[in-house]
């Protein structure tokens, strides 16, 4: 399921971001470009984080930007963004963030299996090592496909 949500074009390595808001914008760009989300979805992800705090920082160095489907989701998808330099979201337990997994979901349930697969990946230190050392998107996508296939 997760591997079907991620396209090679949705993987970004060594991306520059000036702050957490810019990091969210950057992480959402591949989904916007592919027509998976509207610009309003990006704005809503930032607005929600401003209103509720950095709840999207779900683990050490990891953020999962997302918003409700009615904020402008056209298709369920996920991007993977590795920042060149980490940024602070204001989460004292898990800052700074270097990895963003931007999620667009068309409803509240259909992506839950994919999130379970993502949790497995986030518990895999080899995955983070790959993200830090990968020179191309194919390496990352192949790892995700192989890891989730054997789940």
> What domain count does the chain have?
1
Q: For residue 77, is pLDDT > 90?
A: yes
d(CA 116, CA 86): 25
Tell me whether residue 50 is exposed, middle or buried, using C-beta atoms within 10 angstroms of its C-beta: 0 to 12, 13 to 18, 19 or more. exposed
Read off the pTM: 0.94
Tell whether the model's pLDDT for residue 151 goes beyond 70: no
**How far, in Å, CA of 88 to CA of 135, rounded?**
25
* Per annotation, catalytic residue among 66, 85, 88, 111: 66
Q: 103 pLDDT band (50/70/90 cuts)?
A: very high
- Show the domain range for 95: 2-149
Q: What pLDDT band is residue 13 in, cutting at 50, 70 and 90?
A: very high
CATH number at residue 44: 3.40.930.10
Of 68, 67, 73, the C-alpha closest to 35 is 73
Is residue 85 part of the annotated active site? The answer reads: no
N-to-C CA span, the chain: 11
Closest to 98 measured CA to CA, from 131, 126, 127: 131
Whether the pLDDT of residue 150 is over 70: the answer is no
């Amino acid at each position: 399921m997760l591997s079907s949500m991620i396209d090679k074009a949705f993987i970004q390595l060594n991306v520059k971001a000036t702050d957490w808001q810019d990091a969210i914008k950057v992480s959402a760009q591949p989904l916007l470009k592919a027509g998976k989300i509207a610009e309003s979805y990006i704005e809503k992800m930032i607005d929600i984080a401003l209103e509720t705090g950095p709840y999207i920082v779900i683990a050490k160095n990891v953020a999962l930007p997302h918003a409700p489907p009615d904020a402008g989701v056209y298709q369920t998808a996920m991007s993977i963004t590795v920042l060149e330099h980490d940024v602070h979201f204001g989460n004292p337990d898990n800052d700074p963030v270097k990895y963003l997994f931007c999620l667009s979901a068309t409803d509240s349930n259909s992506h839950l299996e994919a999130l379970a697969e993502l949790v497995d990946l986030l518990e895999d230190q080899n995955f983070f090592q790959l993200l830090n050392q990968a020179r191309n998107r194919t390496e990352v996508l192949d790892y995700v496909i192989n890891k989730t296939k054997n789940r």
